[in-house]
Chain A
Amino acid sequence: MCLAIPGKIESISGDDPLVRMGKINFGGILKEACLAYVPEARVGDYVIVHVGFALNRVDEEEAHKVFEYLKQMEELGELEDREAGLPPAGGKT
């Protein structure tokens, strides 16, 4: 359930935090979403939006973690291959 997708806040309107709305850019498409639940969000932040509501900000640092982890695994794999005298694995392009 819970189709929610990431988009970038382009503009924010409304002072009352409970009716704060933002124009969110999803890959080139703009749609409004309610920002009541992300009071700390600013223009330029990415948020996860479900049925017209931003549920959370995307933590950009955390977003990279899985790629760092995979990169480490890859390097570890290459290191182990080298130590075992194997040629580096192809197909990493």
Chain B
Amino acid sequence: MKYLDEYRDGERARQLAREIHRITTRPWNIMEVCGGQTHAIVKFGIDELLPKFITLIHGPGCPVCVTPLEIIDQALEIAARPEVIFASFGDMLRVPGSTTDLLSVKAGGGDVRMVYSPLDAVRLAEQNPARDVVFFGVGFETTAPATAMAVYQAAQKGLKNFSMLISHVLVPPAIEALMSSPNCKVQGFLAAGHVCAVMGYEEYPPLAAKYHVPIVVTGFEPLDILQGVLMVVQQLESGRAEVENQYTRAVQREGNLPAQDLIRKVFRVVPRKWRGIGEIPQSGLGLNDAYAAFDAARKFGLADRQVAEPAECLSGLVLQGQIKPHECPAFGQRCTPEHPLGATMVSSEGACAAYYRYRRQTPDVAGKTP
């Protein structure tokens, strides 16, 4: 596939790795924000090519992992209703709520359907006028243009049986929250390439300056990630803290303006609770009043609730990069991909699942798994 496979070239990957080795003189902690980047790092073994001095910390860039327990429980409640067709991306189906998950609701008779695009959910609403179609709108800024368009088109078509349970989250506030934590060890960031394709990267220079961290907008293939790391290390080694763009083939500084326009039209910024981290102000998207009729939580009269996480689950600390997955006492014992305690073990790019799948034989991890 063009513009994909050539960025997986082994020889060139090793060439970039050699250059990183050549210039690295000190230990550095670099966080890749995006779950898709974590997935690539683990799948291709990119961190194996890096010098031992460089530690990659896996960030909270997995919207699946950070969707609050309360919202998942709301989703489960809605999905169980007989008049509802509950449409969701595949990622969310296995994430555990307080007592169950969407796949189990499906097994119990709920009409839970996996969709590829939010527009598929709108189509379902058109095709099933007697049912209530609810779409689970999860994702970072990358997905917001799609969900915004779904709501916009539903409004244009005058659909009364379509609504959305929204759990959109924004990246820059999360980075700010991470950096302002006293335990934060992150010295440089690989910013999420596709989020920036939508939003641009004009919000990052103040963060880079305030916390003195290099931020490099990075893509998702091995060559992208390696080049992103190289650019961060070059800055770190020379004491710079600037915003740079590695993913220039897909990202411009101002981002995608038509997409931002529709996002602003349909959504407004709201406070949002991040599972495992807590509430971060101005870090989520909610529907504007003009589109309030499409808010599933309101439509189904679901009250806000507070749910406590199982005390055992330390996914919050993992998401903040403060502990490694295998340092959690439940890792590999009471918490595995087959029976996960938290979202980081369910999501294919959650740090815990990645560690369990791919690392459990290495010496520092092996002691923790059966």
A residues at B contact (CB < 8 Å): 1-6, 8, 18-19, 26-27, 34, 36-39, 46, 48, 50-53, 55-56, 58-60, 62-63, 65-67, 69-70, 73-74
- How far apart are the CA atoms of A88 and B99 in the complex, in Å? 63
Flag if A59 contacts B146 (CB, 8 Å): no
Q: What's the minimum C-beta distance from B126 to chain A, rounded to whole angstroms?
A: 14
B residues at A contact (CB < 8 Å): 1-4, 6-7, 12, 15-16, 19, 34-36, 61-64, 89, 116-120, 139-140, 142-143, 145-146, 149, 152-153, 192-195, 197-198, 223-224, 227, 248-252, 256, 258-259, 262, 349
Known contacts: A6-B1, A50-B146, A53-B117. The answer to whether A58 contacts B15 by CB under 8 A is: no
- How far apart are the CA atoms of A80 and B89 in the complex, in Å? 52
- CB-CB under 8 A from B118, the residues of chain A are 51-52
Flag if B223 contacts A66 (CB, 8 Å): yes
Judged by DSSP, the binding face of B is: helix
Known contacts: A5-B1, A6-B2, A55-B142. The answer to whether A67 contacts B116 by CB under 8 A is: no
A-B contact pairs, 22 of them (CB 8 A): A1-B35, A1-B143, A1-B195, A2-B36, A2-B139, A2-B195, A6-B1, A27-B1, A36-B149, A37-B256, A50-B142, A52-B118, A53-B145, A55-B145, A55-B194, A55-B259, A58-B3, A62-B249, A66-B224, A66-B227, A69-B227, A70-B12
- How far apart are the CA atoms of A38 and B4 in the complex, in Å? 20
Flag if B1 contacts A56 (CB, 8 Å): no
- How far apart are the CA atoms of A38 and B63 in the complex, in Å? 25
- CB-CB under 8 A from B194, the residues of chain A are 1-2, 4, 48, 50, 55
Q: Which single residue of chain B is at the shortest CB-CB distance from A29?
A: B1
- How far apart are the CA atoms of A8 and B3 in the complex, in Å? 10
Flag if A51 contacts B2 (CB, 8 Å): no
Q: Which single residue of chain A is at the shortest CB-CB distance from B6?
A: A67
Flag if A58 contacts B249 (CB, 8 Å): yes
- CB-CB under 8 A from B250, the residues of chain A are 48, 55-56, 58-59
- CB-CB under 8 A from B36, the residues of chain A are 1-3
Q: Which of A1, A5, A67 has most B Cβ within 10 Å?
A: A1
Q: What's the minimum C-beta distance from B319 to chain A, rounded to whole angstroms?
A: 13
Known contacts: A5-B4, A52-B119, A59-B250. The answer to whether A74 contacts B15 by CB under 8 A is: yes
Flag if A55 contacts B256 (CB, 8 Å): yes
Q: What's the minimum C-beta distance from A31 to chain B, rounded to whole angstroms?
A: 8
- CB-CB under 8 A from A74, the residues of chain B are 15
Query: Which of A6, A19, A50, A52 is in CB contact (< 8 Å) with B153?
Result: A19
Q: What's the minimum C-beta distance from B99 to chain A, rounded to whole angstroms?
A: 26
Q: What's the minimum C-beta distance from B246 to chain A, rounded to whole angstroms?
A: 8
Query: Which of A26, A50, A67 is in CB contact (< 8 Å) with B1?
Result: A26
Known contacts: A4-B142, A73-B19. The answer to whether A59 contacts B1 by CB under 8 A is: no
- How far apart are the CA atoms of A38 and B250 in the complex, in Å? 12
- How far apart are the CA atoms of A19 and B193 in the complex, in Å? 25
Query: Which of A8, A60, A73 is in CB contact (< 8 Å) with B15?
Result: A73
Query: Which of A6, A50, A67 is in CB contact (< 8 Å) with B12?
Result: A67
- How far apart are the CA atoms of A52 and B87 in the complex, in Å? 15
- CB-CB under 8 A from A70, the residues of chain B are 12, 15-16
- How far apart are the CA atoms of A67 and B35 in the complex, in Å? 25
Query: Which of B19, B63, B153, B258 is in CB contact (< 8 Å) with A1?
Result: B63
Flag if A53 contacts B149 (CB, 8 Å): yes
Known contacts: A51-B118, A67-B12. The answer to whether A6 contacts B3 by CB under 8 A is: yes
Q: What's the minimum C-beta distance from A85 to chain B, rounded to whole angstroms?
A: 20
Known contacts: A2-B195, A74-B15. The answer to whether A50 contacts B2 by CB under 8 A is: no
Flag if A8 contacts B258 (CB, 8 Å): no
Known: A27-B1, A56-B252, A59-B250. 7 other contacts (CB 8 A): A1-B62, A2-B34, A52-B120, A53-B149, A55-B194, A55-B197, A62-B248
- CB-CB under 8 A from A8, the residues of chain B are 2
